[in-house]
Structure 1
Amino acid sequence: MATGDIHTSKQGDKWVNRVEGNERASNTAPTKAEAQAKGKDMAIQRGTEHVVHKQDGTIGERNTYPRSRDPRSSKG
């Protein structure tokens, strides 16, 4: 199983989830919300970061799973 971060982005007329480092999409969805939900599930299963892109390709948000890996949640 690939261990790279999951990227949800617009590709043509659909939204796709792609594991970082892979050429092909892991799955597709007609809406951003559906793709984002699938991407989140993939990231949780793999314990990686989920990077959600805006329609223009820029990064809209990042979520790290499990949360303990998120550097912003550490004390100090």
Structure 2
Amino acid sequence: MAKGKNQHVVPKGDDWAVRGAGNEKVTKIVSTQKEAIKIARDIAINQGSEMFIHGENGQIRERNTYGKDNFPPKG
């Protein structure tokens, strides 16, 4: 399976948006960050990509990888 685009949860005015990496248009705009995270997580799991959650200031506050891990933990 080809790796899909990483998904970003970003603030958009008073709402939250899900945006694929490199896309100018957002995938979806919702009223809560929690709802945006669920949508982005579902897309990232489906595509085997990463999800980045940005805070209200735009800084990345959390990152999750879905799909095959090229560097799994040892032990």
Whether the 8 Å CA contact 1:16–1:27 is kept in 2: the answer is yes
Percent of matched pairs sharing the same residue? 36
Number of aligned positions between the proteins: 73
What residue in structure 1 maps to residue 34 of structure 2? Answer: 33
Secondary structure of the residue aligned to 1:16 is: strand
What residue in structure 1 maps to residue 51 of structure 2? Answer: 50
Distance across 1 between alignment mates of 2:69 and 2:29:
27
For 1:75, the aligned partner's letter is: K
After superposition, residues 1-76 of structure 1 pair within 5 angstroms as 3-66=4-67, 68-69=68-69, 71=71, 73-75=72-74
Structure holding more helix per residue:
1
For 1:40, the aligned partner's letter is: R
Structure 1 residue 70: deviation in Å? 6.2
Structure 1 residue 74: deviation in Å? 2.9
Q: CA, structure 1 residues 44+10, in 2 after alignment: closer, same or farther (shift >3 Å)?
A: same
For 1:43, the aligned partner's letter is: A
Secondary structure of the residue aligned to 1:37 is: helix
- Normalising to structure 1: TM-score of the pair? 0.86
List gaps (5 residues or longer) in structure 1.
none
Secondary structure of the residue aligned to 2:23 is: coil
